[in-house]
Amino acid sequence: ETVNISASGANSYSWDNGIGAGATHSITATTTTTYTVTGTDANNCSNTDQVIINVNALPSIDAGTDQDICTGDQTTITATGGNTYNWDNGLGAGAAHNVSPSATTTYEVTGTDLNGCENTDQITVTVNTIPTINAGVDQEVCEGESVTLTATASGGTITWDNGVTDGVSFNATATTTYTATADDNGCTATD
């Protein structure tokens, strides 16, 4: 941050630390530093004074790791590393918020420490769509006959229960309901 330092009480001024002449200077401080000014009056008499600029480290704000959710789901995002927090996207103040975005969204949090220093961090909540799946029409076979179940899905991987493999024939021994599941990035649908 930039801070102004200003000397008074003399006719001319000279600062150390490479600042040079002049009563007022704008300093961009990176470390805590003591600045000494020498003031000279009309009689060519001089005296010195000092000002210390204390530089506080920026807080290390952490919005957490990016998250994946399914459409319609909710998740909690939590910031750490500061004393107070303010989020964008209409969330406002507070360390933690429950969010349920309808599309992939990046949230930015500004954290402030006890010294009033601020820093920011971001977290992206990726919204994955829930797949659709169709297990096909009900089938009738005679006992012991082979049957093949093949499901179609809008995305992801397809698995069946009861030991069935998609597209692989097996012998049916009793009337059974088989459930196919589509899993796309952790979002699932069944039929």
The pLDDT, as a whole number, for residue 164 is 95
The pLDDT, as a whole number, for residue 9 is 95
The pLDDT, as a whole number, for residue 165 is 96
Kindly report the pTM of this predicted structure: 0.75
The pLDDT, as a whole number, for residue 98 is 98
Judged against a pLDDT cut of 90, whether residue 144 lies above it is answered with no
The pLDDT, as a whole number, for residue 29 is 84
Nearest-angstrom CA–CA distance, 64 and 20: 46
pLDDT mean over 61-72: 97
pLDDT mean over 59-79: 97
DSSP H/E element including 152: strand 152-153
Widest Cα–Cα separation across the chain: 119
The pLDDT, as a whole number, for residue 173 is 86
Judged against a pLDDT cut of 90, whether residue 188 lies above it is answered with yes
The pLDDT, as a whole number, for residue 56 is 94
Judged against a pLDDT cut of 90, whether residue 187 lies above it is answered with yes
Q: ∠ CA 154-160-162 to the nearest 5 degrees?
A: 165
